Amino acid sequence: MPDVVVFSDAGSFLERAERWLREREDANNLFLSLAYARAAAPLEEERDVFYATVETDGEVVGCVMRTPPHKVLLTHLPAAAAQAIAQALEQRFETIPSVLGPREEAVAVAEQWIRVKGGGWSEGMHQRLYRLDVVDPPGGVEGRLRLAGSDDVDLTTEWGGDFTRETGVGPPPSRAGMAARILDGDVFVWDVGGEPRSMAVASGRTPRGVRVGYVYTPPKHRRHGYASGLVASLSQRLLDDGSDFCMLYTDLSNPTSNAIYERLGYRPLHDVVDIEVRPGG
């Protein structure tokens, strides 16, 4: 059975896991970017974070992470490690909300958790991770890409909340959090005649890649191609700024958005699913 090695902080986790994660830097973007961000954070913020490697014969073959109150994250890893992973999680947490990863591995970990803790599980959102290396820009979209500024904080905070309510992905952003992202130059809007029509956020930077997210267009501005123009222009800007590739997660239940991103040059890498865990009564 594979071993599960738990680390006390992001720095020690990266010392062990970074080389393995960077072998597939695109597929492991979420893990790497979270670990890099945590490694730069104060140590007191690390107390409840769970980092672990899955190892066979002394070699890393997978990783596990949880930043409470969020879900457990899994890379591809041997399903045979599920029992040891669940045992390690049980020693740290009384409950977990869900497990996100490749379906076989996520179900196996959830089932092992429930075997001890009780409760049940159900399938939540199915997502697909895409990678883009070359942009195929759409034609004839009115407007232009621009950085969001201080005047856009309220609007982008509102739209970010609308995005999370519509998609069920993550908690809504706070105004302070959105203001900080704008100050960092990570928030972009599609501007038509001085009016924002769509938004997106660049995040999850790794040595060679960057993730595009929070792509949102209000209902009244949809069906004009604004999101396509925004994502294409933002992706090109990120490539021009030095990234080798861009990443993007989509909801597989929305075939329209998946088709749009594929037309822009995004290519599927792999699928993940949220396995939602119900606590025992």
What are the strands, taking DSSP E only, across the chain? 3-7, 50-56, 59-66, 72-74, 98-101, 120-132, 144-147, 187-192, 195-203, 209-216, 245-251, 267-278
SS3 81: helix
Query: Are the beta carbons of 63 and 53 closer than 8 angstroms?
Result: yes
Q: Are strands 187-192 and 195-203 parallel, antiparallel or unpaired?
A: antiparallel
Which residues are within 8 A (CB) of 150 and not within 5 positions of it... i.e. 6 or more apart? 179, 182
CATH architecture type of domain 3-127+273-278: 3-Layer(aba) Sandwich (3.40)
Q: Which residue has the higher pLDDT, 46 or 35?
A: 35
Residue 177 has pLDDT above 70, yes or no: yes
The string of DSSP codes covering 111-133 is HHHHHHH--EEEEEEEEEEEEES
Q: How much is the average pLDDT of 90-108?
A: 96
Predicted local confidence at residue 250, as pLDDT: 95
What average pLDDT does range 213-224 have in this prediction? Answer: 96
Q: What is the mean pLDDT of residues 182-198?
A: 97
Token pair of 182, please? Answer: 């704008």
* Equal fold, 3-127+273-278 vs 135-264: yes
Average pLDDT over every residue of 84-91:
96
By mean pLDDT, which of 39-53, 57-71, 260-274 is the weakest?
A: 39-53
pLDDT at 87: 96
Give phi and psi for 153, each to the nearest 5: -60, -50
pLDDT value of position 217: 97
| Alpha carbons 220 and 203: distance in angstroms, whole number | 26
- Segment 112-116 shows an average pLDDT of 95
Measured CA angle at 128 (ends 123, 134), to 5 deg: 175
Question: Per CATH, the architecture of 135-264 is what?
Answer: 3-Layer(aba) Sandwich (3.40)
What digits encode the pLDDT tens for the residues 148-173? 999 999 999 999 999 999 988 888 99
For the chain, which residues make up each domain, given as ranges?
3-127+273-278, 135-264
Output the average pLDDT for the chain: 95
